[in-house]
Amino acid sequence: MAETSPRHLLIPFAGRGSPACRAALPTLRLPNLETLLQRLTLADTDTQDESTRSPPHERALAQALGISAADGCIPWGALDARRLGIATPGDTEGWGVVMLCNWQVGIDDVVLGDPAAIEIDADESTALLEAARPFFEEDGIVLHPSPVPGRWLARARIFDGLATASIDRAVGYPISQWSPLADAARPLRRLQNEMQMLLYTQRVNDDRAARGVPPINSFWLSGTGALNKEAAPAAAPTVSDALRIAALRDDGMAWAAAWQELDAGPVAALLADYTRGDAVSLTLCGDRAAQRYTVQPRGLAGWARSLFDRKRAATVLEAL
């Protein structure tokens, strides 16, 4: 009989160091999470500082998939291209993910807005891709649509080894803080400027202005790199994005409310699986660290000790 794969729940933004989310930590009441933390054993911790281009949840997901890559070079674009059948298993050329976005121009700097907030539909994405394609091709970059509007896959030699910052690192910060500075990225910086001028003239943005939604005025490149020819990605864990939007906006009340729903839903389901005797895993990720908890054999003394060694969820999440 085939062995059942352990259920693995990965939660990005489980801890958040921004002011409002950090202030909301003591208000959290997460009984299912606390019970799981009491029953499971900390198996792995990955702690970096907040300057890494790849945030903890992306590093944890890559590790779960068996992908080894340098910071900023986790090949999400290549992985998606292979899953969609755009790239073959023998394709080792570099890929990247192009996200259409709104750059918010201020007095002193330009801030990257969250692409999830631009409300782009499939027709708009297709129209903009066709307009942008010749400009990208001049720099040897081939664009492909993806099932997600406003998210394109891009193939180019320069993406192999080019470190880029995750969109989840860059949202809400000045563009200059996270833009790639390597010489290989010069064509990208020029292309971003060209795209700003091109997008300004597109009818799509005229229609968006009439609808009262933000203009699409540039793009962000991330997920750059190449997949090893022999790579055979493993089964992915379940990734919950329930906390993402509130965390990126530093909306402490919404983040706390999302945590309550997460605890009552997927976390409770994971606890139920554990109670039935399933092999489960839980990975909690914050700005700096990821912690993975698993089922590990314990003697009677260790089990008795765990009943009294109750971990406060807020303390665990604060350490992330």
The tokens for 156 are: 């180019």
- Provide the pLDDT for residue 89: 66
Single pTM value for the model: 0.90
- Provide the pLDDT for residue 232: 54
In this structure, the number of other CB atoms found within 10 A of the CB of residue 147 comes to: 8
Instruction: Report helix, strand or coil for 118.
Output: coil
* DSSP 8-state assignment for residue 173: S
Output the DSSP codes for 289-304.
Answer: EEEEEE-----HHHHH
- Provide the pLDDT for residue 1: 29
Q: Name the residue among 70, 8, 5 with its Cα closest to residue 44.
A: 8
- Provide the pLDDT for residue 6: 66
For β-strands 41-47 and 289-294, DSSP reports them as: antiparallel
Sequence letter at residue 234: A
Question: How far is 303 from 297, CA to CA, in rounded Å?
Answer: 9
Check: CB of residue 66 under 8 Å from CB of residue 299: no
Domains and CATH numbers, the chain: 7-66+235-318 (no CATH), 76-225 (3.30.70)
C-alpha triplet 147, 151, 156: angle, nearest 5°: 110
CA dihedral (227, 47, 287, 61) in degrees, to 10, reads: 30
- Provide the pLDDT for residue 2: 34
- Provide the pLDDT for residue 298: 58
| Residue recorded with tokens 């062995």 | 3
The tokens for 146 are: 């993806």
C-alpha triplet 50, 175, 22: angle, nearest 5°: 40
- Measure CA of the first residue to CA of the last residue in the chain; give whole Å: 39
Average pLDDT per block of 10 residues along the chain, 320 residues long: 64 96 94 94 93 96 92 94 83 89 82 87 94 92 95 93 94 88 77 87 89 89 83 76 95 97 96 93 96 78 51 86
- Provide the pLDDT for residue 196: 86
